[in-house]
Amino acid sequence: MTLKDKSYRLVELRQVIAETESKQKEALAPLKLERDAIQEEIMKNLKRSGQFSARFDFGTVSRAVRKTLQVLDEKKVIETLKSKGLDGEYTSIQLNDLFTSSLAKEIVKSGEALEGTEIVEKEYISVSKPSAKEEKRKVNLMNN
């Protein structure tokens, strides 16, 4: 296969992949909308009944909270990092990936946001399936 043939095949493959991904995205859109609507209904039902989870034979549905750090004012965050001597590690001209992947997670864990940031909580539905090894029913053995 010549360079020209390989290049032509590459162009063809990229086009087919792009078309397939587009069709897949279209096919998934209504399913994702239905999923989101059902998750919202489950969340409302769990809240209304005061439950945090519901256990079924096919799995456990739970309310969970995801905490993320949202940067409101990047300049203030950089100034705060500079005052703590952390600017060289977590910034360049702007906040870098190390800030997002490392320090932001530690800030969320500690619960103390830096100036210019806030910790945002988002409630979501978590679904866990039972292990094939575990008994689906809870068994209590009592000694008599």
Domain ranges of the chain: 1-65, 69-113
- The predicted-structure confidence for 71-126, as pLDDT tens digits, reads as follows 999 989 988 888 888 878 888 778 888 888 888 999 999 988 888 899 999 999 99
pTM: 0.62
- The predicted-structure confidence for 43-72, as pLDDT tens digits, reads as follows 999 999 999 999 998 899 999 999 999 999
Rounded distance between C-alpha atoms, residue 122 and residue 62, angstroms: 14
Output the six-digit token pair for 101: 């992947």
CB 114 within 8 A of CB 80: yes
Q: What are the angstrom distances between the C-alpha of 99 and each of 83, 111, 141?
A: 16, 16, 51
Rounded distance between C-alpha atoms, residue 33 and residue 39, angstroms: 10
- The predicted-structure confidence for 3-22, as pLDDT tens digits, reads as follows 999 999 999 999 999 999 99
